[in-house]
Structure 1
Amino acid sequence: MAVEAVGEIFTGIFRFLFRILTEVLLEFLLKGTGYFICRPFSKNINPDGFKVVIAGFAFWVLMFIVALKVFNFVQVDKCLDSGGSYNYQTKTCVHQS
C-alpha cells in the first residue's frame, strides 16, 4: 500500500515535469520563435499554426548547426593560438616537441 502511494506520487511528479517540459519546448521555443520569424512576412499568422512550428523548428536546427561550426572553429583557433598545428583530416591538434 505504501509502495503504491509512493509510486503514484512519483508518477504525478514525472507527469507534471513532462507537461511543463513539453509546454515550454513546444510553446516557447518552437511556436514563440516561429511566430517572431513569420510575423514580419504576414500579419495574419496563426500563433498556433503549423507554419509557425516548422519555422521555429527550422530555426533551432539551423542554430544547432551553427553552434557545431563555431565549436569546431574555436577548437582550431585554440590549437593555433597555443603554437600547434591543426590536422584537419584527423581533427586533432599537433604540438611540435
Structure 2
Amino acid sequence: MPLEILAEGFFGGLLRLIGWIFVDILFELAIRGLGYLILRPFTKVNVDSIACVFTGLAVWILVVFIFIFYF
C-alpha cells in the first residue's frame, strides 16, 4: 500500500512537470516568439510585452482558419 501512494505521487508530479514544460514551451516559443518576430521590424518591442502575445495569437488563429478553409 505505501508503494502505491509513493508511485501515485511520483507519477502525478512527473505528469505535472511534463505538462508545465509543454505549456511553457508552447506559450514562449510558438506564441510570444512569433509575435516578437513579426513586430520587431516595425517597432522596438520587448519580447515580454502583451503586444507580442496578441500578435502571436492572432497569427496562429489566422493560420488555423486558412488551414481549415483551404484544405
The TM-score by the shorter chain falls in which range? over 0.9
Q: 2:65 is matched by which residue type in structure 1?
A: I
Deviation at 1:13, TM superposition (A): 1.1
With normalisation by structure 1, the TM-score equals 0.69
Runs of 5+ consecutive residues of structure 1 not aligned to the other structure = 72-97
Counterpart secondary structure, 2:42: coil
Counterpart secondary structure, 1:40: coil
Larger radius of gyration: 1
* Structure of higher RCO (CA pairs closer than 8 Å, 6+ residues apart): 2
Partner residue in 1 for 2:5: 4
Q: 2:67 is matched by which residue type in structure 1?
A: A
State how far apart, in whole Å, the 2-side matches of 1:7 and 1:37 are: 44
State how far apart, in whole Å, the 1-side matches of 2:25 and 2:52 are: 15
Runs of 5+ consecutive residues of structure 2 not aligned to the other structure = none
Moved more, 15-24 or 50-59: 15-24
With normalisation by structure 2, the TM-score equals 0.92
- The equivalences for 1:45-84 within 5 A come to 45-71=45-71
Point out the structure with the larger strand share.
1
